[in-house]
Chains A and B, each alone.
Chain A
Amino acid sequence: MNKLKKIMNESFFSSPVKLSSNHLLAIEGMKKSEIQKLIERADYFANLDRHTNTKVLQGYVVLNVFFENSTRTRVSFELAARRLGAEVINISLINSSIKKGESLLDTASTLNAMRPDLLIVRHPHSGAPLLFTDYLNCSIINAGDGRHEHPTQALLDALTIKRRVGYLEGLKISICGDIANSRVARSNIHLLTTMGAEVRCVAPSTLMPSNLENLGVKCFSNMKIGITDADVVMLLRLQNERMTGTENPSEREYFKFFGLDEAKLSLANPNAVIMHPGPMNRGVEIASALADDTNRSLIKTQVEMGVAVRMSIIEALNHTKKK
């Protein structure tokens, strides 16, 4: 009976989502209903047998342009696009045109001349994908820009939580770690507060951005208080490459106060789950054993959900443009 209901749901109720924009640049400003639909559609893709034919985007050209190193996000986008039947071209611009002195906008115009349908862009500077929208005719997905946003990560985190817990509204979710330098944190804050979760941010005061509470979250510099009764503990990577040496005395001191270990986790809801956008620094933000605890850690599920969420988004942008 359940199986039948599931099939009914899939075939009758799940259809491509139409968005209000041709681009996915940020969670901030997105409507709750849009987020909800994207997650539902992604849930449908996640439930599909991996060999189901979902190739609805034959001939659709996706440029996967990364100005910053990435393995998981780039592969995840590529897989998602390929499963939809699109042609994917990966372009790594970390060392090429930028070093030759070509301006970002010349790069954008060059890419535009190749007439892609979709550009997926990761860039070390906040706001860069928005700038691209002025110079390209295709849809653009922000795959992470500087310290600003990483919208697909927030959507996949939401799907992961929803599939495990069943809902988002009213959940106590603690985002812990290097909030100041984290685009994942910003996207998650916007998404989770929009969906009605109670969001807490835990960070050493040196890594807490100013006036963060104005984004509708509670801020804590004591992790033990910040994760008490939490349903979800989301950890962030300590972004050493964006630091100066004045944020934090040492990794071991960080782990003592802000690393998740059994003792701190025991203060959270007994069923609390652990998430991390990866890549992890084991023994810095999370005790290694907890990261591998399959009962509590959803880290691998997050990666898996990434593909489904990105399928849902790519499909939606194609659908939106058609309209």
Chain B
Amino acid sequence: MIFTVLKSIKVLNPKTYFNDISDVVICNDKIFSICKDFKTDVLQQDRQINIYDCNGLTMSPGIVDMRVNIGKTENLTAIQKIAAENGITSMVILPNQTPKLNNPSIIDHIKRQSENPNLTKVNIYGAATKDDQGLEMSEIGLMSEMGAIGFTNGNKSIKNSLVMRRLMSYAAMINRPIIQHAEDEDLSGLNKASTSLINGEMNEGEISTRLGLIGIPSCAEVIIVERDIRLAKLTGASYHVAHISTRDSINVIREAKKIGLKVTCDTAPPYFALNETSLLSYNTAFKLSPPLRKEDDRLAVIEGIQDGTIDAIASDHRARSKDTKAQPFSAASVGASGIETLFLMTLELVHKKIIDLNKAISLLTINPANVLKMKKPSLEKDELADFIIFDENCPDVINQNNLKTSPTPFDRRKIKGKILGTFINGQVAYMNQILKDKIIK
């Protein structure tokens, strides 16, 4: 029996609205006790007890990151480790890797391969269609049995309306959500079949005009969201829009929620922390999909977070090699790293007094779990001990040179907060020296 005792830690548990300073005791993989003034002498007879003085620190359920791309050159185990270091205890990976995660055996394989009690847990979205054109439904029932928790075409929109209708209908039958990257690819110029000359590179507007880059109109997002909501209504499906970025789409989702449709959405830190003006020096770290939008859209994302229209915040991690980013903007790859900044940038919303800490933690933990119909993480007696310990006020600066994935769109940003420890299944998956030094016994 191994006991870990966290003395006088602020426990934040959004599921039960619990928010108080307590002593938390972990035994093996479960939470043994959360109480005031735990007497450690009751445990004396046991072999190993680690007691930490956590005064001034906060504890919350571990982060559920609902959107992580594993790139061609990335190693899943390495990403699991980095995720754990950054407070993510559970992450969902996208199917658009090589090979594509589009059949039950590969889902099973990845599940087994990623199983490691000390690393971030891996969940998988299965590919909604077998092929890249998005025309044939994958074996989503079988994949679901192997543990796929939702279905999506990753960074491509499910374009064909009939295919989408069938997918939604079938997914509703097996009670799994459909996750959509909402972008009209003809309009954004990403559909290679219709044109190879106009490749949307950034948000359309004054900045794209000044830079001479090809614009993607912001309505390319809402066009797909609006269609899909009508299909969700028709089929009764759970429909989730990933990395939402425009005011119009958020408005449409707000209305859909009002009439009781099972429609949800998430966003990612770039969309509430940055806008298209970041691109003025052609910095390819800001070449994202969806593209960074206008300031008004950024404000709408914040409003959506505040009023609950936006259910969750995901990292939308899509790390890219330096070689593919050190290119002229048009030739550079799309995407940026995210798992190392997800928690810090969400905490920034708290420091800017946009939301409170409880809300921020909800957006990163129980809300994504809820959207994906996963068990809601909770800090209660006998619950699985997947949690993080952090200092919410520790000042720091995000520095690309200190990060393990690149490029970050938040290089040199001053932030407050630091993950000090991540526990997965009651075991230390990551512990910062600051926390290690707080051990009493």
A: residues with CB less than 8 A from B are 28, 103-105, 123-128, 130-131, 145-149, 183, 186, 209-212, 214-215, 242-244
Contacts and interface: CB of A to CB of B under 8 A. Distances in A.
A146 to B, nearest CB: 5
A211 B205 contact: yes
A50 B213 CA distance: 40
Contact of A126 (B194, B197, B326, B330): B330
A244 B199 CA distance: 11
Contacts of B330: 124-127, 146
A150 to B, nearest CB: 10
Contacts of A103: 323, 326-327
B contact face: mostly helix, strand, loop, or mixed: loop
Interface in B303-344: 323, 326-331
B115 interface: no
B209 A209 contact: yes
A198 to B, nearest CB: 19
B211 A148 contact: yes
A126 B213 contact: yes
Nearest to A135: B326
Interface string B27-59: 000000000000000000000000000000000
Interface string B97-141: 000000000000000000000000000000000000000000000
12 contacts: A103-B327, A125-B329, A126-B330, A127-B213, A148-B213, A209-B208, A214-B206, A214-B209, A215-B206, A215-B210, A244-B194, A244-B197
Interface in B249-297: 281-282
Given A103-B323, A211-B206, A214-B206, A130 B331 contact: no
B210 A127 contact: no
Contacts of B197: 242-244
Nearest to B201: A126
Nearest to B215: A210
A145 to B, nearest CB: 7
B198 interface: yes
Contacts of B395: none
Nearest to B281: A130
Given A130-B281, A131-B326, A244-B194, 7 more contacts: A131-B327, A183-B212, A186-B210, A209-B208, A210-B217, A211-B205, A214-B206
A126 B198 contact: no
Q: Which 6 A-B pairs have the closest CB atoms?
A: A148-B212, A147-B212, A125-B328, A127-B282, A211-B206, A126-B212
Nearest to A190: B210
A145 B215 CA distance: 17
A147 B201 CA distance: 12
Contacts of A214: 206, 209
A244 B205 CA distance: 20
A210 B209 contact: yes
A244 B197 CA distance: 6
A123 B205 contact: no
B328 A131 contact: yes
Given A149-B212, A210-B206, A244-B197, A104 B282 contact: no
B206 A126 contact: no
Contacts of B329: 125-127
A128 B212 contact: no
A104 B326 CA distance: 9
A130 B282 contact: yes
B54 to A, nearest CB: 45
A28 B328 contact: no
Nearest to A212: B209
Given A125-B331, A131-B328, A145 B208 contact: no
B185 interface: no
B35 to A, nearest CB: 58
Given A105-B326, A125-B328, A244-B197, A147 B213 contact: yes
Contacts of B206: 210-211, 214-215
A315 to B, nearest CB: 28
A186 B207 CA distance: 12
Nearest to B198: A244
B348 interface: no
A28 B211 CA distance: 10
B204 interface: yes
B195 interface: yes
B208 A210 contact: yes
Contacts of B212: 126-127, 145-149, 183, 186
A103 B194 CA distance: 28
A42 B323 CA distance: 40
Nearest to B328: A125
B41 to A, nearest CB: 63
Contacts of A149: 212
A103 B211 CA distance: 22
Nearest to A211: B206
A124 B327 CA distance: 12
Nearest to A246: B195
Contact of A104 (B205, B209, B328): B328
Contact of B211 (A127, A131, A243): A127
Contacts of A146: 212-213, 328, 330
B205 A131 contact: no
